[in-house]
């Protein structure tokens, strides 16, 4: 899938915002702060500071975790985070309303009705845009609150949940993660971001419009990302898987059609597929499988090979030579 840098940045931005809300850790200009749901919960402000530690004699960046102790600071934080949490709920409601309207479009026949629904959707999208701006303002106010706080912050030098915070910081900063290192949560957020950009219809920006099935196949197979756990992320599954013989039959049938063969019906009826063709096609498919993959049980593979290659006691020595010759003709030393 090709897309402009503008769309790519927007997708990552949406995914990063989604992760912050889901993991309850907000990225501020000068640090991070956890987003609490109950007023009695612990408030932690986290930032990188230059410290001398370990064997180094020069200051290095170190993640410092502060706990909010001042009641005044707690109250100001609670006012801001309560407003932020309300914006999240408003955003979720707008998304649900948009989903309902999209479902209505699928059942609507007249263009007039469709345009009316699309106008309603645009209103909700504008509302979401405004909510995003308000959330950003709230995060700026939170950043100023902690940057200007001279008292009320206590450094937690021995903090048992330090690793948890470090992991969360890595997760929410999806813009700094390599594709191969994406976690399940990050992938889910990216996939939902793709959907929200409306890749199912031709976009206004410079990107190649694709259908749902192509998008999913590309994300899963070509890029190597994992399948999402969200049930509504994917379209209807393929009900039937075609057999190798069917694929070979269609290939030969299409060749006859292109050649405009005489007595086409008889020619199609006489199409034959031998074992060698099935083996060749199966080998091409299986050749893409990495048997060193950790998810593959090598004992099962060995057992399967043993079952296939089991010879009876009455087999002649010539059978071995046939197998040996096959490998000499088919494979090179590098294989």
Domain borders along the chain are: 82-139, 244-330
pLDDT at 202: 39
pLDDT in tens, 287-321: 655 555 555 566 665 666 666 555 555 545 455 55
Residue 242 has a pLDDT of 65
* Residue ranges in the chain modelled with pLDDT below 50: 199-210, 222, 233-234, 315, 317, 335
pLDDT of residue 203: 40
Q: Is 67 helix (H, G, I), strand (E, B) or coil?
A: strand
Phi then psi dihedrals of residue 164, to 5 deg? -60, -40
pLDDT at 111: 84
pLDDT value of position 36: 94
Compute the distance between CA of residue 185 and CA of residue 192 in angstroms, rounded to an integer. Answer: 11
pLDDT digits (tens, 9 = 90+) for 67-77: 999 999 999 99
Q: Which helix (H) or strand (E) holds 184?
A: helix 184-196
Q: Which pLDDT score, from 0 to 100, does residue 321 have?
A: 58
Angle between helices 71-107 and 111-147 (to 10 degrees): 170
pTM of the model: 0.58
Which class for 197: exposed (0-12), middle (13-18), buried (19 or more C-beta within 10 A)? middle
Phi, psi of 61 (to 5 degrees): -65, 130
């Amino acid at each position: 899938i090709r897309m402009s840098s503008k769309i790519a940045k927007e997708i990552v931005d949406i995914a990063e915002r989604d992760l912050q809300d889901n993991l309850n850790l907000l990225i501020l200009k000068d640090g991070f702060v956890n987003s609490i749901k109950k007023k009695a919960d612990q408030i932690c402000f986290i930032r990188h500071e230059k410290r001398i530690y370990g064997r180094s004699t020069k200051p290095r960046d170190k993640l410092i975790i502060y706990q909010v102790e001042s009641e005044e600071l707690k109250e100001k934080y609670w006012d801001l985070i309560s407003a932020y949490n309300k914006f999240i709920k408003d955003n979720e409601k707008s998304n649900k309303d948009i989903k309902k309207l999209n479902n209505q479009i699928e059942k609507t026949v007249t263009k007039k009705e469709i345009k009316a629904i699309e106008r309603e959707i645009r209103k909700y999208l504008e509302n979401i845009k405004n909510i995003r701006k308000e959330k950003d303002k709230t995060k700026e106010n939170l950043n100023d609150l902690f940057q200007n706080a001279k008292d009320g912050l206590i450094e937690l030098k021995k903090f048992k949940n330090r690793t948890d915070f470090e992991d969360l910081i890595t997760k929410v900063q999806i813009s700094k993660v390599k594709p191969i290192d994406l976690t399940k949560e990050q992938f889910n957020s990216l996939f939902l971001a793709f959907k929200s950009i409306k890749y199912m219809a031709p976009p206004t920006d410079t990107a190649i419009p694709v259908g749902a099935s192509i998008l999913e196949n590309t994300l899963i197979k070509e890029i190597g990302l994992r399948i999402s756990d969200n049930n509504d992320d994917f379209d209807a599954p393929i009900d039937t898987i075609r057999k190798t013989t069917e694929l070979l039959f269609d290939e030969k049938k299409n060749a006859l059609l292109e050649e405009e063969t005489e007595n086409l019906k008889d020619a199609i009826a006489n199409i034959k597929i031998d074992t060698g063709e099935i083996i060749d096609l199966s080998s091409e498919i299986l050749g893409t499988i990495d048997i060193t993959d950790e998810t593959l049980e090598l004992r099962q593979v060995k057992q399967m090979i043993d079952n296939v290659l089991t010879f009876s006691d009455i087999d002649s020595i010539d059978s071995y030579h046939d197998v040996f010759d096959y490998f000499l003709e088919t494979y090179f030393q590098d294989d």
